[in-house]
């Protein structure tokens, strides 16, 4: 048995048999994984629910391992919401244990149809897990969560429906704003080179060619051949900028930049994008809409 599985079993034994100390008038409690999901549940639930996110700003969900405190939160939750599609690959055993003790869980990837998910044989689940980078997907997930929450916690149904409808209006406005911004960029310049392959949904929805130095998961490492291949392509296609990510070490992208420079050409670091996690809660990038707007402005302005 691996060290990870042993730790999960030990933590499970510590908390699984403890009673949930829910006060009679306490709020419906939802525990979430990524910051994007935390933000989504806060928008739908508002004051009607208590949302507890286990991952903070800048945290890489591909590498995240459950702490003792996380397991305590999960075992006390009324609902656990996670991305699924193996984004939180090191938490799979934990979610299975939560199901075994009767905790209600929902994976957002399971709320989408096969047509809405990008297939990838290069990832463990054979699907690209970065589903939030499609605004269409995020709207569909919002609608499905409204229904799910309303059935699970019917006394707050009106709140979920009202808040959810308002949030979808905001997502519609964001989608139009992004389309308008992208139109500033000539089609031949719409080539997005990033640290890892997190932006394929964005590329599909807004007509960008997306090239990641690492694969779909940050658990993979970019090799010398990857750097050489991509640096040659940058030179051939005359790509103006490449991008680092807030939740991924910058060394691979800087190595790519150095490789281009070693061949007598230049490519700039166009800025830092937010991929697998939001920014700090007190900043523009601390919510999904602000993060998406910031990313698009950064990309378009750097590639003009």
Residues 142 and 33 in one domain: yes
**Enclosing domain of residue 276:** 187-303
* pLDDT-derived band at 40, boundaries 50, 70, 90: very high
Residues 203 and 166 in one domain: no
Residues 130 and 167 in one domain: yes
Which residue spans within the chain are E strands per DSSP?
Answer: 28-32, 49-53, 79-82, 105-107, 191-196, 209-214, 241-245, 268-273
- Domain end among 177, 202, 219: 177
193 in any annotated domain: yes
Report the C-alpha gap between 46 and 254 in whole angstroms.
Answer: 41
59 in any annotated domain: yes
Which residue spans within 62-190 are E strands per DSSP?
Answer: 79-82, 105-107
Q: pLDDT over 90 for what percent of the chain?
A: 81
**Residue 12: C-alpha distances to residues 64, 70, 82, 280 (Å):** 17, 11, 18, 31
Domain containing 61 — which CATH number?
3.40.50.1980
Q: What is the pLDDT of residues 256-284, one digit of tens each?
A: 999 999 999 999 999 999 999 999 999 99
291 in any annotated domain: yes
Residues 196 and 153 in one domain: no
What is the mean pLDDT of the segment spanning 67-92?
A: 95
Report the C-alpha gap between 118 and 137 in whole angstroms.
Answer: 11
Q: With a cut of 90, say whether residue 3 has pLDDT above it.
A: no
Residues 107 and 194 in one domain: no
> Is the distance from CB of 134 to CB of 201 less than 8 angstroms?
yes
Q: Which pLDDT score is estimated for 132?
A: 98
Residues 98 and 195 in one domain: no
Q: Which pLDDT score is estimated for 163?
A: 98
39 in any annotated domain: yes
Residues 262 and 194 in one domain: yes
What is the rounded end-to-end Cα distance, in angstroms, of the chain? 52
182 in any annotated domain: no
Residues 204 and 252 in one domain: yes
- Domain end among 138, 159, 177: 177
240 in any annotated domain: yes
Report the C-alpha gap between 157 and 27 in whole angstroms.
Answer: 14
Residues 171 and 210 in one domain: no
Residues 150 and 35 in one domain: yes
Residues 54 and 103 in one domain: yes
- Domain end among 130, 151, 177: 177
Q: What is the pLDDT of residues 120-146, one digit of tens each?
A: 776 666 899 999 999 999 999 999 999
143 in any annotated domain: yes
* pLDDT-derived band at 1, boundaries 50, 70, 90: very low
Residues 158 and 205 in one domain: no
The structural domain count of the chain equals 2
110 in any annotated domain: yes
């Amino acid at each position: 048995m691996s060290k990870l599985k042993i730790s999960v079993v030990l933590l499970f034994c510590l908390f699984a048999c403890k009673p949930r100390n829910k006060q009679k008038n306490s709020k419906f409690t939802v525990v979430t994984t990524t910051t994007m999901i935390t933000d989504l549940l806060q928008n739908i639930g508002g004051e009607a629910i208590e949302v507890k996110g286990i991952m903070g700003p800048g945290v890489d969900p591909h590498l995240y391992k459950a702490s003792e405190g996380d397991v305590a939160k999960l075992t006390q939750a009324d609902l656990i919401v996670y991305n699924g599609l193996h984004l939180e690959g090191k938490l799979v055993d934990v979610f299975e244990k939560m199901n075994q003790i009767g905790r209600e869980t929902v994976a957002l990837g399971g709320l989408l149809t096969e047509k809405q998910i990008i297939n990838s044989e290069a990832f463990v689940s054979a699907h690209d897990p970065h589903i939030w980078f499609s605004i269409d997907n995020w709207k569909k997930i919002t609608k499905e969560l409204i229904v799910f929450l309303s059935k699970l916690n019917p006394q707050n149904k009106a709140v979920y429906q009202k808040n959810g409808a308002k949030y979808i209006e905001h997502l519609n406005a964001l989608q139009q704003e992004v389309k308008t911004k992208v139109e500033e960029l000539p089609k031949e310049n719409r080539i997005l080179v990033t640290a890892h392959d997190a932006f394929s949904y964005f590329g599909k929805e807004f007509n960008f060619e997306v090239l990641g130095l690492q694969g779909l998961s940050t658990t993979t490492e970019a090799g010398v051949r990857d750097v050489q291949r991509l640096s040659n392509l940058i030179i051939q296609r005359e790509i103006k900028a490449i991008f680092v990510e807030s939740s991924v070490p910058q060394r691979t992208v800087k190595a790519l930049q150095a490789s281009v420079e070693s061949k007598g050409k230049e490519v700039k670091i166009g800025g830092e994008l937010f991929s697998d996690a939001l920014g700090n809660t007190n900043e523009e990038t601390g919510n999904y809409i602000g993060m998406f707007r910031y990313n698009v402005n950064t990309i378009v302005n750097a590639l003009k």
